[in-house]
Amino acid sequence: MSRKAIAWSGVFPAVSTQFNADYSLNIEATHRVISNLVADGVSGLVVCGTVGENTSLTLAEKLAVIEAAKDAAGGRVPVIAGVAEFTTAFAQHTVKEAARAGADGVMVMPALVYSAKPHETAAHFRAVASSTDLPVMVYNNPPIYKNDVTPDVLVSLQDCDTIVCFKDSSGDTRRFIDLRNTVGDRFVLFAGLDDVVVESIAVGAEGWVSGMSNVFPREGETLFRLARQQRYDEALALYRWFMPLLHLDARPDLVQCIKLCEALVGRGSATTRPPRLALHGQALADVEVLVAHALKHRPALPDVGLGEDR
């Protein structure tokens, strides 16, 4: 599979999964959240990722979310399904089920819990990717998953045709340059950490899996396009406004932070499944202040060809 076979670029929010007060899945609310993101002009969707609370969902719930996303997207943007399992075999099974549910691609995480050695990590991705015809995005998030997918691991996977994309949340943008120096443009590169997105685009990122674009999708897509168009003065002005919120994506409690922000701007519920517990005390107050300040000083957005609601 060639990277030309996919059209993955721009902002792909890591969509939150919506729950009822009793923590049961609220598929209608999840569908509504996704529909609103598509209407606001995002370029794609990642469901059942970290922000989507993948590991708290049953397989049946994951498939319901994928199906809801496909329906909400209506063919206008690609839907990528997160795959985060404890074993390679479980991941292979989930990928097959995601394909049946209509996913346009999968974002595969390292096998969870076990801190694999580099050759084991590579073997996991190879086995999962070889089990499907879907395009695969390899997801690296060493602070959260305690497993580092280094450029060397990617280089060892360059012969695996279905692996077409690399999402990096390490925060080390040098890795994109190292990867390009070694394998050229073999992989589509995606920024995975919100508060280094402009830097990531400057060194080759073609897409952004974004947490805070769930809350401010038009601002996220505009920031991305400004940076891609090398309109850096305008991009940096918007980046400075956005940065206090983007830092929330780098915290261990990023899911609670992002969902609280969604609730504060009327885009979703703050409810997360335990063991994730709601923010309280000073942490809660700090996020409320950040959102209030952002709304009060929300900037007029430059024209980047985003267009009107779909």
Q: Tens of pLDDT along 37-88?
A: 999 999 999 999 999 999 999 999 999 999 999 999 999 999 999 999 999 9
Active-site residue set: 139, 167
Q: Is the pLDDT at 147 greater than 50, yes or no?
A: yes
Task: Indicate whether 59 belongs to any domain.
Answer: yes
Task: Indicate whether 285 belongs to any domain.
Answer: no
Cα gap 168→191, rounded to integer Å: 6
Mean pLDDT of the chain: 96
Helix axes 254-264, 281-296, angle to 10 degrees: 50
Q: 167 - beta bridge partners?
A: 139, 190
Q: Which residue has the tokens 């980047």?
A: 304
Indicate the pLDDT class of residue 310, thresholds 50, 70 and 90: very low
Domain total for the chain?
Answer: 1
Supply φ then ψ for residue 147, to 5 degrees.
-150, 120
Cα gap 177→197, rounded to integer Å: 15
Q: Is the pLDDT at 293 greater than 90, yes or no?
A: yes
Cα gap 95→90, rounded to integer Å: 9
Range of the domain at 39: 3-243
Task: Indicate whether 56 belongs to any domain.
Answer: yes
Indicate the pLDDT class of residue 144, thresholds 50, 70 and 90: confident
Task: Indicate whether 252 belongs to any domain.
Answer: no
Task: Indicate whether 278 belongs to any domain.
Answer: no
Indicate the pLDDT class of residue 309, thresholds 50, 70 and 90: very low
Other CB atoms closer than 10 Å to residue 81's CB: what's the count?
31
Task: Indicate whether 20 belongs to any domain.
Answer: yes
Task: Decide if 310 contacts 74 (C-beta within 8 A).
Answer: no
CATH code of the domain covering residue 166: 3.20.20.70
Q: What is the DSSP letter of 46?
A: E
Cα gap 95→126, rounded to integer Å: 13
Task: Indicate whether 195 belongs to any domain.
Answer: yes
